Structure 1
Amino acid sequence: MKFSYVNPTLIQFGQQQIAALSDLIAKDQKVLVVYGGGSIKKNGVYDQVAAALEGFDWVEFSGVGANPTIEVLDQAVKICKEQDIDFVLGVGGGSVIDGVKYIAASAVYDGEGWDIPTGKHTITSALPIGAVLTLPATGSESNQNSVVSKEATKQKLPFASPEVLPKFAIMDPDVMKTLPQRQLVNGLVDAWVHTCEQYLTFPEGALVQEGYAEALLKTLKTLGDNFENQDDAWRANLMWAANQALNGLIGSGVSQDWATHMIGHELTAAYGVDHARSLAIVQPSLLRNQFAVKKAKLEQMGKNVFGLEQTDDLAEQTIQAIEAFYHSLEVATQLTEHGDDKAAAIDNIIGKLEAHGMVALGENQAITLKESREILEHAVA
């Protein structure tokens, strides 16, 4: 293990924590509050934020949807530049917070914002940002990662920079009470796959990271098994587990995969599949495709997460257990949104992967376009 780890995001966790906003942003900063489709006005979150920002100079921007597009986000960037915004506050789930990161970085850049995810521009500064989390899933509230889309070209690309790490994240589990059940399922699955991407590689002797990843997976499995029995503890544990799955800790000093995400992004961009559900579609097929190199870790997961006995087919049993977990949440493990032409759908996704430079994926960079095609052959219904 060799790594450098720091996470400066202040976490304000627990019920009725939104009021702490007034102490977390300087009174002399002009604030842009960014949110999604307006659900925060129905569930009381908007009113709580407005009350906390009483006496502040703030404006708002709404309409950031799932898989945030630069066509929408660039409108907020324009507001930042024209109104001399000092601080950007995202109130929402991972999509809103990812969008805020793009807004904050683009607001201090003179070129086209899309230069950021394409790699043409390296972020060297950004407006400071904060987050009020309303949907646990991505961990975006305390990491440096973001994924944004370009509707015009059906592209979905990631970027990362320590400059866009939120200064603080307010995490009140009560805000989850009014969320649609589908979104809660998505959050659980997303956190599960985030953990797997940093764990299901090969044994490296990183006992803390591997043990913590297993604890998170067991937590998420328990929450999934008790999905119908949601109480305060259930909500708090999901919100915290999703944060810990991608705050950088369990991935420090170990190999990481992320091929499931890169292929899944293309399914979302092309067919509008929910992000988490695209991951569930890709992951089992990918694990079988990379079975030989992942076998030892799959066996470890089978024993330590699912409580399976050591057998000759333990690794395959583990993949089946993962599939069963998804199915128990009514999450599909094959793509059905592609229309009638399976071959054309696969060619489309492979073409997108090639165009975006995703030609050597996985912890060993061994998933070439050939392997991606084989994975899709099994993942597309």
Structure 2
Amino acid sequence: MLNFEFHNPTRIVFGRDTIARLDALLPPAARVLVLYGGGSVRQNGTLAEVRAALGGREVREFGGIEPNPTYETLMRAVALVRQERLDFLLAVGGGSVIDGTKFVAAALSFTGEDPWTILETHGANVTGAMPFGSVLTLPATGSEMNPTAVITRTETAAKLAFRSPYTFPQFSILDPSKTFTLPARQVANGVVDAFVHITEQYLTFPVDARVQDRFAEGLLQTLIEIGPRAVAQPEDYDTRANLVWTATLALNGLIGAGVPGDWATHMIGHELTARFGIDHARTLAVVLPALLRERREAKRGKLLQYAERVWHITEGTEDARIEAAIRRTEAFFESLGLPTRLSSYAVGTEAIDGLVAQLETHGMTALGEQKEITPEVSRRILEASLVPAA
């Protein structure tokens, strides 16, 4: 097991009717900006419930944060906070809203000339952040319990990530019943997003981290078991509760402690979203199988472990077991309605040069747990994702 430090200061408040806890979680005199995305939190009553729980505090609202939150929109939120002299941020929504709130929190404390450099330095120049919390309505990204955010700049089609110890939420409220009204597409996306978060930390190379491996395998098996039911039975509270908690645990730092991380699937996927607007989780469903095939030798030990412990594949040659595990992964994604080929999104060979150029522009030239995924390897992965494997 590799050396590590693990610290996660986010308080989780989990269960039904927990939004009422906001009154105790926020300072009594807080001047609050509530940030959210589209109109769903207003339509389903969540926003009204939040405002009631905040009581007599001064509250302003900022809606319209996109599914891929943009720098341009978020800088308007920064201006509103300064104008109204607010001092606490509350994200009400899924990972995009929480990611956007993290950037707003960091930008409000930023002393440089251009807050976009927070993304360009991946958070290295963040020295503080306004306090914030979240009310989660969409399980997927784990942003409710980690310090990471991904932000898009529209004018340059750049989608970059940052993280900082200052951008952990102070608290996150997780009420699984708030996910009941989500569209099936978003729930399916959330299942796959969480699944790939786990594989990015698990499917690397062995370092004898038995606790982390078993934890990751259990989370993957849970998603395989409950994923289809979570999509088909929206008001099954226990299923949604398990999905919400699994998605949080997938990226709160615990299973990544003491093990190498890959994240190349995410970096390549971000370019697909920025260039073509494909849902984040759907880019992951496309890229991951092609990446695993391309990197099967470097990942051989963990792929064989994955085949046996997660998919119970124990017969055949090593290569046959690895391929069977990748095919089972593809079948799982597709059973949830997420295609695993770029051709399903009308993206063809002509797009590859531009995607590779974007990776190079954004410094993504040595990706993966061993930093061996060069632009040329990324090109092969993208080319392989165009058509089904032989």
TM-score grouping bracket, smaller chain normalisation: over 0.9
Could you say which residue in structure 1 is the equivalent of 2:271? 266
Gap regions ≥5 residues in structure 1: none
Secondary structure of 1:54's aligned partner: coil
Could you say which residue in structure 1 is the equivalent of 2:340? 333
Could you say which residue in structure 2 is the equivalent of 1:119? 121
Per-residue CA shift, 1:180-203, capped at 9, x if unaligned? 000000000000000000000111
| Structure-to-structure mapping, 1:314-329, within 5 angstroms | 314-329=321-336
User: How far apart in 2 are the matches of 1:140 and 1:49?
Assistant: 19
Could you say which residue in structure 2 is the equivalent of 1:140? 143
Secondary structure of 1:336's aligned partner: helix
By how many angstroms is 1:310 displaced? 3.7
By how many angstroms is 1:344 displaced? 2.6
Could you say which residue in structure 2 is the equivalent of 1:306? 311
Matched, 1:244 2:249: yes
Matched, 1:217 2:220: yes
Relative to structure 1, is the Cα distance of residues 144 and 326 closer, same or farther in structure 2, using a 3 angstrom cutoff? same
Per-residue CA shift, 1:161-197, capped at 9, x if unaligned? 0101000000000011100000000000000000000
What TM-score comes out, normalization by structure 2 length? 0.95
Secondary structure of 1:90's aligned partner: strand
Kindly indicate whether the alpha-carbon contact (under 8 Å) linking 1:74 and 1:103 is maintained by their aligned counterparts in 2: yes
By how many angstroms is 1:339 displaced? 4.7
Per-residue CA shift, 1:213-245, capped at 9, x if unaligned? 000000000012434244111000000000000
Secondary structure of 2:61's aligned partner: strand
Kindly indicate whether the alpha-carbon contact (under 8 Å) linking 1:273 and 1:337 is maintained by their aligned counterparts in 2: no
User: How far apart in 2 are the matches of 1:310 and 1:225?
Assistant: 27
What percent identity do the matched residue pairs reach? 48
Q: What is the RMSD computed on CA atoms of the aligned residues?
A: 1.3
Could you say which residue in structure 2 is the equivalent of 1:54? 55
User: How far apart in 2 are the matches of 1:46 and 1:83?
Assistant: 20
| Structure-to-structure mapping, 1:282-297, within 5 angstroms | 282-297=287-302
User: How far apart in 1 are the matches of 2:86 and 2:308?
Assistant: 52
Q: Identify which range, 314-323 or 76-85, moves more after superposition.
A: 76-85
Q: Identify which range, 287-296 or 302-311, moves more after superposition.
A: 302-311
2:334 partner letter: H
By how many angstroms is 1:306 displaced? 1.1
Could you say which residue in structure 2 is the equivalent of 1:64? 65
User: How far apart in 1 are the matches of 2:344 and 2:66?
Assistant: 20
What TM-score comes out, normalization by structure 1 length? 0.97
| Structure-to-structure mapping, 1:40-51, within 5 angstroms | 40-51=41-52
Could you say which residue in structure 2 is the equivalent of 1:228? 232
Matched, 1:277 2:282: yes
Kindly indicate whether the alpha-carbon contact (under 8 Å) linking 2:194 and 2:246 is maintained by their aligned counterparts in 1: yes
Kindly indicate whether the alpha-carbon contact (under 8 Å) linking 1:296 and 1:315 is maintained by their aligned counterparts in 2: no
Secondary structure of 2:343's aligned partner: coil
1:365 partner letter: K
Secondary structure of 2:293's aligned partner: helix
Match of 1:160 among 160, 163, 181: 163
User: How far apart in 2 are the matches of 1:311 and 1:205?
Assistant: 25
By how many angstroms is 1:12 displaced? 0.3
User: How far apart in 2 are the matches of 1:375 and 1:244?
Assistant: 28
Kindly indicate whether the alpha-carbon contact (under 8 Å) linking 2:152 and 2:274 is maintained by their aligned counterparts in 1: yes
Secondary structure of 1:146's aligned partner: strand
Matched, 1:348 2:354: yes
Could you say which residue in structure 2 is the equivalent of 1:14? 15
